[in-house]
Structure 1
Amino acid sequence: MTRHHTPLILIALAAIGCNNPALAKTPQTDADAPRRIADAILAAQIEANGVPGMAAAVTRDGTLIWVGTAGYRDLERKLPVDPDTSFRLASVSKLLTATAAIMLHDRKQLDLDAPVQRYLPGVRLSWPAEITPRQLAAHMSGIPHYQDVDAARGKVRFGSVNEAVAIFANRPLLFAPGTRYQYSSYGYTLLSAAIEGAADMPFLSFVSRAMIQDLPLR
């Protein structure tokens, strides 16, 4: 959840805030009203998304102008989320993966329309249909998303990308590659394996060297 000092976003915040009777009574001259509205919206997301805690921040021209926190980082000890709480990237990592694929494509190391098997010398896929990196990135590969059998996978730290690929490499495709759209985290797992093969180095090493090291990230 973000808040910029632009008419469009302020109108959106005001509109959401007016749905809350308490917020609707906030005087327009109150300079802190947008901040309170943003804080209330963030707090409402805790219940709406069923998560323990959340945090958000907004910068403008490189300057931090709003930080919001809500909920807990530790439910058992009732420790609240604070501005320094770390969260898992989760599916935001798909943006990094797609960017890595494009970088390799620009370097002529990854053909987006070649069979992905070309970049997987250590993995043998069971699907008769050829799947391409482009289809993986666009969620059009036919590879299923998480299924009931994967309920406990979130607690597992795999030793390698290929080890993770082995979890779903023998599952039936949902449809012929390229014919439909179906969101799939496993598709992106396979794309990261192709990136490893094309870059000839571990996925995280390539992301770190090619993308992260020049960014002001801690």
Structure 2
Amino acid sequence: MFLSLQTVSAQKMVAALDSVMHRHFSADQPGGALLVVIDGKTVYNRGVGLANRETKRPITPATNFRMASVSKQFTAMCILLLEKQQKLSVDDNLLKFFPDFNPQVGKIVKLRHLLTHTSGILDYESLMSPTQKEQIFDQDVLNLLKPQDSTYFEPGSRFRYSNSGFCVLAQVVEQVSKKPYLTFITEHIFKPLGMNQTTLYEPKRTIPNRAMGYARDKNGKIRFSDQSITSGTKGDGCVYISLTDYKKWNDALTTNKLVNLPEALKRVFYPIEGQSNGFYGLGWFFTRTNGEAQTFFHSGSTCGFSNCVVRIPEKKTLIVLFSNLADNHRPFGDVLNVLTSQTERSVDVWALHNLTN
């Protein structure tokens, strides 16, 4: 993929992107926020719709959306930072951190397996009681997994997307750092990068500039849908971030401010079956050119939010769309269509969307 402002009229692109946003989002309903950066220049940075239907607060680039699975890249970074501090290795197994983990699983599942969705550990959703009514948290997930004596497959032999794995990783962070996950991620990522509005969901915790989540019922009517029993886990999905702060995060990744992500991905990744140039590692789907990670992608879906992110660091390109409406990824496809129709080459990442949840 190559995007260049020299090949298009910026004004024409803004008008086309505006058309997409207003076609999909209404000013008086839940909506979305879109950021497009090409060649290091911000082309589009606007919100459409309401962050909160009750208060009528509009969506802006400062609105904080729940990231769902886009959160996994932050969890992975916490592990990399602890490795940088020489407090763990991605080749450590689970028994090192949780001696009471069933040894048949704990001794063969390594952190690298969790970071690449190749652990085969069971989906915690399948282990929950059918009568579960209260939100489940990362420690609860760990407690459900500890007694299990089997995995779906031999760790490291297959790719299977796993929320369980990233919940366990958040517990590893707490175990090793001796700090609550929120404290560690704030001290080592959010504050150093100036992401002062970014935080994690916790019940009754105030989130600044918070977008509330919504969904459509079977009749297409929009209803409040901000939380579910599985939306309280931190490691796999509860970062709240705005376009403004996400750009800071992207800039830090591009400049290797915290760790060298491209180098880390050379040793922690896994090829995805059925994708000729598709890989996963450290919270990212990505493509490679000459062994180097090139185009990064991830989406996130939850009961009330839909998010998509594409990064192409070599081209200083970033495309981010956050929405506080569930099951609403189609606008992102239309954004990509606008960008590819007005630039030199196509975006070869949309197919990867179906691999994420």
TM interval, shorter chain, is 0.5 to 0.7
- Does residue 53 of the first structure (1) align with residue 31 of the second (2)? yes
Q: Which residue of 2 aligns with 1:102?
A: 80
Residue matched to 1:135: 113
- In the alignment, does 2:89 pair up with 1:90? no
Q: How far apart are residue 107 of structure 1 and its match?
A: 1.8
1:37 aligned partner, one-letter code: A
Gaps of 5+ in 1: 11-27
Q: For 1:205, what is the secondary structure of its paired residue?
A: helix
Cα distance change, pair 69–184 in 1 and its aligned pair in 2 (3 A): same
- Aligned-pair identity (%): 26
Residue 183 (1) aligns with residue 161 (2): yes
Are residue 34 (structure 1) and residue 13 (structure 2) matched?
yes
What is the one-letter code of the residue matched to 1:32? Q
Residues 191-215 of structure 1, C-alpha deviation per residue, up to 9 Å, x if partnerless?
Answer: 1111222222222222122222211
Report the structure, 1 or 2, having the larger helix content. 1
Pick closer, same or farther for the CA change 1:42–1:205 going to 2, 3 Å. same
Q: TM-score under structure 2 normalisation? A: 0.44
More relative contact order, 1 or 2 (CA 8 Å, 6+ apart): 2
User: Which of these residues, 124, 135, 143, is aligned with residue 166 of structure 1?
Assistant: 143
The reply on whether 1:125 has 2:124 as its aligned counterpart is no
Aligned to 2:175: 197
TM-score norm. by structure 1 comes to: 0.68
Whole-Å Cα distance in 2 between the matches of residues 136 and 79 of structure 1?
39
Question: Which moves more between the two structures, 175-184 or 165-174?
Answer: 165-174
| Compared CA separation, residues 74 and 65, structure 1 to 2 (3 A) | same
- In the alignment, what sits opposite 2:47? 69
Alignment gaps of 5+ in structure 2: 197-357
In the alignment, residue 104 of structure 1 is paired with which amino acid? Answer: L
Shift of 1:76: 6.1
In structure 2, the CA distance between the partners of 1:131 and 1:78, relative to structure 1 (3 Å rule), is same
> By percentage of residues, which structure has more strand?
2
CA drift at 1:169 = 4.1
Superposed CA RMSD in Å reads 3.6
Which entry has the higher C-alpha Rg, 1 or 2?
1
